[in-house]
Structure 1
Amino acid sequence: MIVNRTEKVVGRVVLILVLIVTLIPLVNMLSAALQPADTNPTGLTFPTDPQWINFVTAFNTGNVWRLMGSSLFIVIFVVPISLVFATLAGYALGNLRVRGGRFIFIFLILGLTIPFEALIIPLYYEIQALGVLNTQWAVILPLIGLYMPFSVVWMRAHFIGVPPELSEAARVDGATTFQEFRRIQLPLARPALSALAILLFLWTWNQFLLPVVLIADPLNRTVAGALTFFQGQYYSSIPLLNAGALIIIVPTIVIFVIFQRQFIAALLQGAVKG
């Protein structure tokens, strides 16, 4: 496709505008976080004497280090297990075309329409019956299940786009289904898996509702709940709240920046064929 100079200029201008709109809230939060803790900053104004100590106070007050460890524990189990099940199910639905696959696919699509909030009450009693209420497993197990519809549909979309000639050539060479999956399909699925892993990490790291409902001890919840520790002495300190929020979102930004190439590659994977 040939793109003329005008289209290139317009595209770059749009991207720059989107970038500015995206960065303004972060810059505004940073400027507010550097204000004195006992002030109520308004507007986008950088202080002459930045209070970097606010980040230290927010880190300690919010028990951020403890909550980061709790979030990491949950992520370590949720992301790999979800990737394994989603990849196997996506391969079965997209490449093997198993019997009843269309019905299963429709069922998964319906699962995407159900919000987490609608399942909180039944999840609570189910987790209580399993005996893991008020533990981190009360969040890990539901998240794996709740992420399955999107994850399987995502991986199915990838495997459907893989040319069937590759599978046929592998079968002609005597490869079993597992050998074809491990040696051919998995290497081709790396961009899709990387992008899915990023999304699952972001969603799990920022999960707030399920930990609050299913875990009684605030120190065993996710890092997104760190701001709840500002109740009391610092509940009205806008600079400390902004400092805490920035500390919480920094890991997600870093992860996305590191793996942005894989994420973009997965989104564009099916754009060009042949």
Structure 2
Amino acid sequence: MRGGVGARYAILIVLAVMVLLPFAGIILAALHSPGAQISGLSIPGRWSWENFTLAWERGNFSNLMLSSVLIAVCVVPLTLVLATLAAYGLTIVKVWGNRTLSTGFVLGLTLPVELVVVALYFNLREVGLTDSYLGIVLAEAALFMPFGVYWMQAHFSGVPSALVEAARIDGARDLVVLVRVLLPISWPAITTLSVLYFMWSWNQFLLVLVMMQDPDRRTAPSGLGLFVGQYATDIPLLAAASLIVIAPIVLVYLTFQRSFVNGITQGAIKG
């Protein structure tokens, strides 16, 4: 028994080192003097924080971070509401054709953005939604919907049917059942889905690069791609820019870590 527990901890420690070591390398690289030549994990002789200021100014991250936040703040609640309503209708209300629609959403999980981005660009251009935040928000919401519906369906399918039937016997309508009965016990699943949506929206690169032609209105990851092309030889500056881009994701995960883990664990137990 003790040997098995020790082996588990050893595997977890190895996996943690594999995940954290690259982050440690990026942090150490960002703290070197601007323009310094770096090889491997080297501790800087002089801790320099000016790389973050230089990267922020040269990369125009004031506008890029604002665009990323604006898009994510619109995408997350919009997609969350639509996915929850769709999953409720397919799983609890069981609307006509629910099995066919569920299969369609599952197939949507296999649809990569690279396959549809060109056609999506021409379709949205016809209605004037290219080079606009609204077009990106709607496109991301559509791309994220299949997973959200699948996730919430899996959660609602684990809710005891007696709970829903009792609410209906008391005279509660469908919307009341969803809002007052199901949502209060669904916060772990909803929080986990919200964090995932935020991460995916924040990290979206190709879609924004194609849909948004104005460099000042692109998101932080797409701006980082252009930044890499301009300062490919300045490793400390690139490391600082990378940390600026990933910082919001880390903060969001740390803030909702407990609920995120609970939602993942709850889904694993039900599965």
The bucket for the TM-score relative to the shorter chain is over 0.9
The answer to whether the 8 A contact 2:35-2:237 is kept is no
1:260 to 248, 257, 260: 257
CA shift for structure 1 position 270: 4.5
Distance in 2, Cα, partners of 1:12 & 1:200: 31
Structure 1 segment 1-274 matched on structure 2, within 5 A: 4-227=1-224, 228-229=226-227, 231-232=229-230, 234-270=231-267
Gaps in structure 2 of 5+ consecutive residues = none
Pair 1:163–1:6, CA change in 2 (3 A): farther
SS at match of 1:80: helix
What SS is found at the alignment partner of 1:268? helix
Q: Structure 1: how far apart are the matches of 2:268 and 2:38?
A: 46
The verdict on how the C-alpha distance between 1:83 and 1:34 changes in structure 2, with shifts beyond 3 A counting, is same
Q: TM-score, normalised by structure 2?
A: 0.95
Structure 2 vs 1, CA of residues 73 and 272 (structure 1 numbering), >3 Å: closer, same or farther?
closer
Please give the alpha-carbon distance, in whole angstroms, between the structure 2 residues aligned to 1:120 and 1:230.
23
Of 149-158 and 30-39, the range deviating more from structure 2: 30-39
Instruction: Give the C-alpha shift of residue 82 in structure 1.
Output: 0.2
Q: Secondary structure at the match of 2:47?
A: coil
1:91-123 Cα shifts (integer Å, max 9, x gaps) = 111222222111111111111111100001110
Q: How many residues align?
A: 269
Q: 1:44 to 1:260 in 2, by over 3 A?
A: same
Report how far residue 271 of structure 1 moved: 5.1
Query: Structure 1 vs Structure 2: percent identity of aligned residues?
Result: 40
> Is the contact between residue 93 and residue 174 of structure 2 (CA under 8 Å) also seen in structure 1?
no
Deviations 1:35-79 (A, max 9, x none): 222222111011110221111111111111211111111111111
Gaps of at least 5 residues in structure 1 are: none
Comparing 147-156 with 170-179, which one deviates more in the overlay? 170-179
Q: CA RMSD in A?
A: 1.5
User: After the TM superposition, which of the residue ranges 34-43 and 68-77 deviates more from structure 2?
Assistant: 34-43
Distance 1:6 1:141, change over 3 A: same
In 1, the alpha carbon distance for the partners of 2:204 and 2:86 equals 25
Checking the alignment, whether the CA contact within 8 Å between 1:62 and 1:230 is kept in structure 2 is: no
